[in-house]
C-alpha cells in the first residue's frame, strides 16, 4: 500500500476527532470538520482510482462530492434555523430544549 496514505488517513482521523469534541460553536465543530472528512475521503478514493488506473471508478469521487454538497447545504440551513430561532448565535449550549427529567 503506498505510504502516502498514512497522512491522508491521519487527516481523516483528525477531522473525526474534531467532530467528536466540541467547543462553543456548532458550525466549526460539526460542519467544518464534516467537510474535512469529505475532503479526505475524496482524496483517498481519487488516489486509489488513479493508482490502479481503473477509470470507471472515477465516478465514485464525483458522486461523493455531489452528495456531500447536498448534505452541507441542508446542514447550513439547519444552522440558520438554530441561529434565527434561539439567541442569534450558534453556541452549542443554546440547544437546550431537551433536558434530563429529574
Partner 1 sequence: MTYVLFTLSVLLVMGFVGFSSKPSPIYGGLALIVSGVVGCMIILNYGGAYLGLVMFLIYLGGMMVVFGYTAAMAIEEYPETWGSGFEVFGCFLVGLMMEVGLVLWVLEFDEVVVVVSLNDMGNWVVFEGEGLELVRGDSIGAGALYDYGRWLVVVAGWTLFVGVYIVIEITRGN
Please report, as ranges, the residues that interact with partner 1 according to CB under 8 A.
Answer: 1-8, 10-11, 14-15, 17-18, 21-23, 25, 27-29, 31-33, 35-36, 39-40, 42-43, 46-47, 49-51, 53-59, 61-63, 65-67, 69-70, 72-74, 76-81, 83-85, 89-90
Nearest approach in angstroms of CB 54 to partner 1 is 8
Q: Indicate the residue among 27 and 95 with the shorter CB distance to partner 1.
A: 27
Q: Which is nearer to partner 1, 70 or 100 (CB)?
A: 70
Q: Name which of 38, 27, 30, 33 is nearest 14 in CA terms.
A: 33
First to last CA, the chain: 54
In sequence order, the β-bridge partners of residue 25 are 91
Q: By C-beta, is 23 or 95 nearer to partner 1?
A: 23
CA atoms of 52 and 45, how far apart (whole Å): 11
C-alpha closest to that of 68 among 34, 44, 30: 34
Amino acid at each position: 500500500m503506498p505510504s502516502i496514505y498514512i497522512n491522508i488517513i491521519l487527516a481523516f482521523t483528525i477531522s473525526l476527532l474534531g467532530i467528536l469534541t466540541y467547543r462553543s460553536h456548532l458550525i466549526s465543530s460539526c460542519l467544518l470538520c464534516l467537510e474535512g472528512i469529505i475532503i479526505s475521503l475524496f482524496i483517498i478514493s481519487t488516489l486509489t482510482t488513479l493508482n490502479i488506473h481503473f477509470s470507471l471508478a472515477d465516478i465514485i469521487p464525483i458522486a461523493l462530492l455531489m452528495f456531500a454538497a447536498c448534505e452541507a447545504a441542508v446542514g447550513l440551513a439547519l444552522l440558520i434555523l438554530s441561529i434565527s430561532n434561539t439567541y442569534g448565535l450558534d453556541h452549542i449550549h443554546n440547544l437546550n430544549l431537551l433536558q434530563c427529567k429529574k
